[in-house]
């Protein structure tokens, strides 16, 4: 299907043509035109690591009692209780509300890492359908783990990574939760699956010191070395966090063509530390790890924390996400250059008015096209109540 749309000229005189889902050199005379004389055209933002399943958390999730004191307690008392309670309806409502708000804030690509231990098979298709319906670009994976039911659970999770159907907006990744919740056999299987599917790994690495200590207990120098020695990190793999990687480990990841994703608000909230060594790689993108995917807010947190911690390499991390997306989708360029993804945002006075993803108009006049954000939020609030009951 030919999908041509032309935006502009904007108030700077810029016109952007999108033909067949890509930014084009020349305007298609038959294309639909979105005029934006008061707006400014920019590339859509990329959130390079998040969790669509946590989208209901902002709707009155009961606090854990007593309050978690460590990173592992935060996982055990909050997120692992929430993910065990997910079913198809809660997951769908969570994903749709998260995606709607992402698009309305100008985020056009989400790299998701999913877990729902009691609803594994079919879970990624729920996310893919939400992405297709609302029109956001996604990389999807199931974070395989042995933390609830052992090896069989991990194998089911890995199989699910291959179940999701790829479309122009959807690509699949292979996922592991993290080194510290899987055995060597599961890591080897995950690496084999990457090669079989022709894709890469998406895994949490050295988010907290616990992950590093676990790998050392198992006889490895750290989680990065463990994943590498077990042949599970093809070029282009995505390592979320890397807070407790050394400068040498970050340089090694860079040399091997691995992406790192910094998640400033999450790291600060979980009190796991600031990833000061990420400054030793050029392949560092920005994620929000389940926080709302308004990347201007995430970038502001990055700038604030980078300044405090003497990190002079934070500029450019938001744009690095575009390189990551181009790599996985095979785009020849990034930004507003010909050959880049046709993922474009128009802002007026800072407010997102128009969003186009892959040449499809998905936000117009500051509202979703073909979906009702208020109805999506109402459904999310209703499903959230059901989720809190299931968690209890």
Segment interacting with Zn ion, rule: CB under 5 A, options 142-150, 161-169, 285-293, 341-349? 285-293
Between 274 and 371, whose beta carbon lies closer to Zn ion? 274
Tell me the C-alpha distance between 215 and 203, whole Å: 14
| By the rule CB under 5 A, 211 interacts with Zn ion | no
Between 83 and 289, whose beta carbon lies closer to Zn ion? 289
Between 10 and 112, whose beta carbon lies closer to Zn ion? 112
Number of residues located near Zn ion, criterion CB under 5 A: 1
Residue appearing with tokens 């998905």: 362
Tell me the C-alpha distance between 4 and 342, whole Å: 10
Which has the closest alpha carbon to 227: 266, 247, 263, 200? Answer: 200
Q: Cβ 50 to Zn ion, closest distance in Å? A: 7
Contacts of 374 (CB under 8 A, 6+ apart): none
Q: Cβ 22 to Zn ion, closest distance in Å? A: 30
Token pair for residue 64?
A: 């854990």
Between 289 and 311, whose beta carbon lies closer to Zn ion? 289
Which member of 112, 153, 160, 289 binds Zn ion (CB under 5 A)? 289
Helix, strand, coil shares of the chain, percent, nearest 5, are 40, 20, 40
Q: Cβ 332 to Zn ion, closest distance in Å? A: 30
Token pair for residue 301?
A: 């947190």
On whether the CB atoms of residues 166 and 141 are closer than 8 A, the answer is no
Mask: binding to Zn ion, 232-271, rule CB under 5 A, as x and -?
A: ----------------------------------------
Considering Cα of 204, then 95, then 137, then 107, what sign does the dihedral take?
negative
Contacts of 62 (CB under 8 A, 6+ apart): 388, 391, 392
Q: Cβ 177 to Zn ion, closest distance in Å? A: 9
- Taking CB positions, which residue lies at the least distance from Zn ion? 289
Q: Cβ 161 to Zn ion, closest distance in Å? A: 16
Q: Cβ 207 to Zn ion, closest distance in Å? A: 7
Token pair for residue 31?
A: 């294309």
Tell me the C-alpha distance between 12 and 17, whole Å: 15
Between 49 and 92, whose beta carbon lies closer to Zn ion? 49
Residues in contact with Zn ion by CB under 5 A are: 289
């Amino acid at each position: 299907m030919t999908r041509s749309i032309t935006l502009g000229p904007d108030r700077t005189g810029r016109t952007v043509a999108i033909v067949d889902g890509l930014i084009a050199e020349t305007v298609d005379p038959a294309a639909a035109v979105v005029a934006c004389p008061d707006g400014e055209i920019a590339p859509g933002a990329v959130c390079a690591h998040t969790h669509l399943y946590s989208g209901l958390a902002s709707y009155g999730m009961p606090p854990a009692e007593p309050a978690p004191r460590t990173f592992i307690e935060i996982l055990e008392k909050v997120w692992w209780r929430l993910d065990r309670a997910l079913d198809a309806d809660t997951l769908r409502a969570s994903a749709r509300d998260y995606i709607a708000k992402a698009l309305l804030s100008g985020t056009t690509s989400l790299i998701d890492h999913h877990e729902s231990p009691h609803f594994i098979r079919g879970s990624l298709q729920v996310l893919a359908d939400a992405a297709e319906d609302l029109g956001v670009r996604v990389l999807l994976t199931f974070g395989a783990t042995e933390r609830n039911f052992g090896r069989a659970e991990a194998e089911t999770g890995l199989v699910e990574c291959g179940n999701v159907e790829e479309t122009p907006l959807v690509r699949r990744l292979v996922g592991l939760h993290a080194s510290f919740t899987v055995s060597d056999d599961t890591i080897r299987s995950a690496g084999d699956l990457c090669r079989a599917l022709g894709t890469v790994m998406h895994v949490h690495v050295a988010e907290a010191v616990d992950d590093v200590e676990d790998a050392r207990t198992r006889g490895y120098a750290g989680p990065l070395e463990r994943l590498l020695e077990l042949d599970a990190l093809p070029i282009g793999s995505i390592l979320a966090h890397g807070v407790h990687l050394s400068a040498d480990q970050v340089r090694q990841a860079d040399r091997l063509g691995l992406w790192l994703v910094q998640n400033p608000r999450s790291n600060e909230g979980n009190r796991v530390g600031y990833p000061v060594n990420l400054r030793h790689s050029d392949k560092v993108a920005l994620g929000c790890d389940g926080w709302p995917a308004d990347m201007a807010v995430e970038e502001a947190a990055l700038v604030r924390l980078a300044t405090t911690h003497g990190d002079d390499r934070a500029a450019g991390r938001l744009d690095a996400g575009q390189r990551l997306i181009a790599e996985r989708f095979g785009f020849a360029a990034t930004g507003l250059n010909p050959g880049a993804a046709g993922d474009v945002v128009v802002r007026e006075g800072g407010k997102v008015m128009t969003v186009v993803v892959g040449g499809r108009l998905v936000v117009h006049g500051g509202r979703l096209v073909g979906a009702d954000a208020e109805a999506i939020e109402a459904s999310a609030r209703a499903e959230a109540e059901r989720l809190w009951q299931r968690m209890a």
